Amino acid sequence: MLKTKITEMLGIKYPIVQGGMAWIATAELVAAVSNAGGLGILGSIMFPTPELLREEIHKTRKLTDKPFGVNITLLPSMRELPNDGFVQVVCEEGIPIVETTAGKPEKYIDTLKKANVKVMHKVGSIQHAKHAESIGADAVIIVGFEGAGHPLMDDVSLWNLIPVAVDTLKIPVLAGGGSSDGRQLAAALALGASAIVAGTIFVVSKESPAHPDFKQALLNACECDTILIQRTIQNQTRVFKNKTSMEVLAMEDRKAPFEELIPLIKGEMGRQAYMEGKTDYGCFTVGQGVGLIKEVLSVKEIIDNYVVGAQDIIKRLNA
Ligand SMILES: Cc1cc2nc3c(=O)[nH]c(=O)nc-3n(C[C@H](O)[C@H](O)[C@H](O)COP(=O)(O)O)c2cc1C
């Protein structure tokens, strides 16, 4: 009942994709998502070298025989990312699908396609989605204003982006961010999306490596507990509302230069929040869908809840 162009293209059971996530999307989580019928995607940005990504791919393969992908983040970073090497490892290892993010995937599209790797490019606007299609992406993930990560500064919600994208593009469209339950999965499919891409809900899963205090902070949060920062440096990101992110916002209000923001926004602080549970420390990305997450469940329970919830709604509407 939930068969779509994306389940067919990726050879997965359900139209549910776990977006690549720095620090969080490691072998255990990714394998759990793929084993439960979705598509798990390994993060790459946290690996200092391509060989460490290769090790994580091998570790994931020991935990699942189902398809999984790798995320290649092309956004500007405070350290130079070894993306050329990551792409080489992906091709050598026969990974079937890559999620590229922002930036310019042009550089890698030919190499990936020659190695039979499908490319899903993640964007935040219709203009960028059209461009991704024109350069040969196999699918686009459109992330709305409500999602974790770097929603574009146009501030358009998924509710409006998806139908326009579906009307404009020929390749499949995935609805990125803000979907934490079966009602939202059904709504995304109704709008024409071929799958959802979720992150925040998997951060709170049993298999996620995030610190228990971090998971608890997200369980306590409501849909209003995220804010947008880094607008002044044209790199907007949706983060958890805490002492540090509010301080960054105040600094941006008084037009503090980038150099002053760095100590508070650097990835290492976010890592300590996720992995060591220092939830007031650092800026870390979280989507507005956090408001619907009420308990720590296994990945299988999360995926089953999405599927049963969506199927119930579809049955009810058909009746
Ligand atoms: C903790 C965390 C880390 C993330 N890291 C990355 C990343 O390294 N690269 C990337 O393309 N997206 C990253 N994302 C975005 C996710 O892949 C996905 O697009 C997003 O989480 C979907 O929105 P949602 O969290 O509202 O479901 C991250 C998201 C979270 C929550």
Candidate from 18, 21, 45, 227 with most ligand 1 atoms within 8 A of CB, to mutate? 21
pLDDT digits (tens, 9 = 90+) for 73-82: 997 666 788 9
Q: pLDDT at position 69, please?
A: 98
SS (H, E, C) the chain: CCCCHHHHHHCCCCCEEECCCCCCCCHHHHHHHHHCCCEEEECCCCCCCHHHHHHHHHHHHHHCCCCEEEEEECCCCCCCCCHHHHHHHHHHCCCCEEEEECCCCHHHHHHHHHCCCEEEEEECCHHHHHHHHHCCCCEEEEECCCCCECCCCCCCCHHHHHHHHHHHCCCCEEEECCCCCHHHHHHHHHCCCCEEEECHHHHCCCCCCCCHHHHHHHHHCCCCCEEEECCCCCCCEEEECCHHHHHHHHHHHCCCCHHHHHHHHCHHHHHHHHHHCCCCCCCCECCHHHHHCCCCCCHHHHHHHHHHHHHHHHHHHHC
The mean pLDDT value of the chain amounts to 95
pLDDT digits (tens, 9 = 90+) for 7-34: 999 999 999 999 999 999 999 999 999 9
Q: pLDDT at position 273, please?
A: 86
User: How is the chain split into domains, by residue range?
Assistant: 5-206+296-318, 226-285
149 Cα–ligand 1 center, Å: 5
Which atom of ligand 1 is found nearest the CA of 20? 17
313 Cα–ligand 1 center, Å: 27
- The pTM for the full model equals 0.97
CATH number of the domain at 5-206+296-318, out of 3.40.50.300, 3.30.110.40, 2.40.440.10, 3.20.20.70?
3.20.20.70
In this prediction, the residues of the chain whose per-residue pLDDT falls under 50 are none
